[in-house]
């Protein structure tokens, strides 16, 4: 049994998938070890990029029973929570920096029947999350500036993961998941896990190249980490 007790989950980001074959790519992600499907929604305002939205989620929902982990990089997401829930989101993650009323937004996610999660950019102090810790099932720490896949992992994230885990423990909320997103691959995964993250987003390192080989490598790293923890 791992000391922290939070199950490790792989959350491939479909931003790095081939959109021409999206349903096939999602099925292959599941076959190769995905626990969650990480779906990046960008509005061209909160982040300088536009990705996909509600109709895409509604369509792929018909082809996958994976947990849909929907990462909303959009301003004032409260306007669209019901739509994302209705389209098939399981987890809805909003950015603390993008919400006028974060607590109200998280409440709305739960009322819509979804798991609520909150994310912060690399430059935002995890202390801003303290007032809403008991309202979320997951915290998403960005390890790159949100907006694009394929960026380099920011090493300062490791301290932030530890600080977040300590803050959760101090509030008796160690059961909350800590997800990390951006620039993670088989090479830096162990340090991310060791710092205390348990939900791992991987776009480029999961979908690009040979997905079966990528999945094997990632699962081997997790297996070794779990064996060392025993």
175: which 2 tokens?
């059961």
Give residues 126-145 in contact with ligand DX5 (rule: CB under 6 A). 144
Q: Which is nearer to ligand DX5, 15 or 120 (CB)?
A: 15
Supply the minimum distance, in Å, between the C-beta of residue 3 and ligand DX5. Answer: 26
Q: State which H helix or E strand residue 68 sits in.
A: strand 67-73
H helices of the chain, in order, are 22-31, 54-61, 81-87, 102-111, 157-170, 189-195, 204-207, 211-229
Sole binder of Zn ion in the list 181, 193, 204, 215 (CB under 5 A): 181
Q: Which is nearer to Zn ion, 42 or 221 (CB)?
A: 42
113: which 2 tokens?
């029947």
Cβ-contact 71, 39 below 8 angstroms: yes
Please pick, among 43, 69, 177, 181, the residue that the annotation labels catalytic.
181
Supply the minimum distance, in Å, between the C-beta of residue 58 and ligand DX5. Answer: 20
Select from 78-86, 108-116, 121-129, 182-190 the region that touches ligand DX5 (CB under 6 A): 182-190
181 tagged catalytic: yes
String of b and e for 116-144 (b: at least 16 CB within 10 Å)? bbbbbbeebebeebeebbebbbbbbbbbb
Concatenated DSSP letters of 85-141? HHHT-SEEEEEGGG-SSHHHHHHHHHHTTSEEEEEE-TTS-GGGGGGGGGG-SEEEE
Give residues 28-67 in contact with ligand DX5 (rule: CB under 6 A). 38, 40
The residue among 91, 173, 163, 99 whose CA lies nearest residue 133 is 173
Encoded one letter per residue, x for contact with ligand DX5 by CB under 6 A and - for no contact, window 6-35 reads: -------x-xx-------------------
Cβ-contact 72, 84 below 8 angstroms: yes
Sole binder of ligand DX5 in the list 183, 195, 199, 211 (CB under 6 A): 183
Sole binder of Zn ion in the list 12, 37, 40, 120 (CB under 5 A): 40
160 binds Zn ion (CB under 5 A): no
Supply the minimum distance, in Å, between the C-beta of residue 13 and ligand DX5. Answer: 4
40 tagged catalytic: yes
Positions that interact with Zn ion (CB under 5 A)? 40, 71, 181
Active site residues: 40, 181
């Amino acid at each position: 049994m791992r000391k922290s007790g939070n199950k490790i989950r792989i959350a491939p980001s479909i931003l790095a998938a081939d959109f021409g074959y999206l349903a096939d790519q999602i099925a292959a992600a599941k076959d190769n070890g995905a626990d969650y499907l990480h779906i990046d929604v960008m509005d061209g305002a909160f982040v300088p990029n536009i990705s996909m939205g509600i109709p895409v989620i509604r369509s792929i929902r018909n082809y996958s029973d994976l947990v849909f982990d929907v990462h909303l990089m959009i301003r004032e997401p409260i306007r669209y929570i019901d739509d994302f829930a209705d389209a098939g989101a399981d987890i809805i993650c909003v950015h603390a920096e993008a919400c006028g009323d974060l607590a109200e937004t998280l409440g709305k996610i739960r009322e819509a029947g979804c798991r609520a999660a909150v994310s912060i950019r690399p430059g935002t102090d995890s202390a801003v999350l303290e007032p809403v810790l008991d309202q979320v099932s997951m915290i998403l720490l960005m390890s790159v500036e949100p907006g694009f896949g394929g960026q380099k992992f920011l090493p300062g994230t490791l301290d932030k993961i530890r600080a977040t885990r300590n803050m959760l423990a101090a509030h008796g909320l160690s059961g909350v998941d800590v997800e990390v997103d951006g620039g993670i691959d088989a090479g830096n995964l162990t340090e991310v896990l060791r710092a205390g993250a348990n939900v791992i987003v991987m776009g480029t390192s999961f979908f690009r190249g040979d997905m079966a080989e990528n999945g094997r490598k990632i699962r081997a790293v997790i297996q070794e980490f779990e064996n060392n923890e025993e």
